[in-house]
Amino acid sequence: VVDSCFAKQRCYNPLLGLEALLVAPTSKASATQRAGRAGRVRVGKCYRLTTEEAFEAELPATAVPEMQRSDLTGMVMQLKALGVDNVMGFEWLAPPPAETMVRALETLHALGALDDDAKLTASVGFRLQSCR
């Protein structure tokens, strides 16, 4: 296995409302998992295209959870359809940034899926949810 110690990761900018796929350093946990693939079928080696010092100093121990770097508009709509009124107070395993949640609520309101009380609208919200 030849490991560049980089991976394409989804990244979301709530200020712009845009998602992108960016090349970013992988985590040590991911690099360790990749190295494990070298010996699964037969004896193998892993060659990392970085120094040991850079591996230890620059790579994060674990990856940032996808929930914290994704557009949550669809997830918020699904929570609303399940009857969760206070999505800002929802207990996430890895809480997303508040800006991302606010942007999701604003987007759903602008689409007409949420009314002024942040409830799913009968005309748009429930129809959009059924398309998921």
Q: Is the pLDDT of residue 128 over 80?
A: no
pLDDT score at 97: 93
pTM: predicted TM-score of the whole model, two decimal places: 0.76
Count of CB atoms situated within 10 Å of the CB of 102: 12
pLDDT score at 122: 81
For tokens 């998992």, the residue is 33
Which residue, among 84, 78, 77, has the nearest Cα to 109 in the 3D structure?
A: 77
- Give the pLDDT confidence of 38-68 residue by residue, as tens digits: 888 888 899 999 999 999 999 999 999 999 9
Would you kindly state where each structural domain of the chain is located, as residue ranges?
A: 2-64, 67-131
> Average pLDDT, stretch 116-122?
89
For tokens 């604003």, the residue is 106
Residues near 68 by beta carbon (within 8 Å), at least 6 away in sequence: 94, 95, 96, 97, 100
Q: Is the pLDDT of residue 103 over 90?
A: yes
CATH superfamily of 67-131: DEAH helicase family, winged-helix domain (1.10.10.2130)
